[in-house]
Amino acid sequence: MLSTTENTPTIRPIAATIAAVYHKEKILLVRRANPPDAGRWGFPGGKIEAGESIELAAVRELLEETGVQGRARQVFTAVDAFDQDESGRIHQHFVLIAVLCEWIAGEPVAGDDALDAKWFSLDELTDTGLALSLDVAKVARQAAAITLGQTNGS
């Protein structure tokens, strides 16, 4: 369990969203430019702005980070992301709310807060040379299963 020390200011979780787009048997990921997980591959996403719904935040971040237009379908899971230093001290704690988004248009181009944007097959996510953020492969498989279930009439 991660914790803060007595001399550390209270860290409160920050609500953020991630957009999971599974299209043509591939999942869309970005290589993050900023903490947490700078340099690692993860879902496009970011902080939810005051007054903005989770779904609108996911669609906005998807467009800003990849140039891909999407439509929010459903919230389907949430994961924690911790920005911590080498000693384990937490600087920020994000609660990432995953939104399944349907691809509408566009090809991925790295934009706001992204070093790269690319489609990956689910098999590629098991490549040990691919630096993924925590739980990316698991969330990608969940998004694919839900998408395929919807496509197959389930």
pLDDT of residue 150: 76
In a domain, 5, yes or no: no
Residue 16 CA to residue 89 CA, distance in Å, equals: 21
Q: Mean pLDDT of residues grouped by 10 in the chain (154 residues)?
A: 56 95 98 88 96 98 97 97 88 95 98 93 89 95 94 52
The count of structural domains within the chain is 1
Residue 132 CA to residue 39 CA, distance in Å, equals: 9
Phi, psi dihedrals of residue 8, rounded to the nearest 5°: -95, 140
pLDDT of residue 20: 98
pLDDT of residue 151: 61
List the domain range (segments joined by +) for residue 69.
14-151
In a domain, 136, yes or no: yes
In a domain, 6, yes or no: no
In a domain, 25, yes or no: yes
CB 97 within 8 A of CB 75: yes
Contacts of 85 (CB under 8 A, 6+ apart): 91
pTM for this one?
Answer: 0.89
pLDDT of residue 34: 84
pLDDT of residue 107: 97
- Provide the CATH number for the domain around residue 95: 3.90.79.10
In a domain, 4, yes or no: no
pLDDT of residue 140: 98
In a domain, 8, yes or no: no
In a domain, 111, yes or no: yes
In a domain, 34, yes or no: yes
Distances (CA, A) of 152 to 99, 103, 120: 20, 17, 22
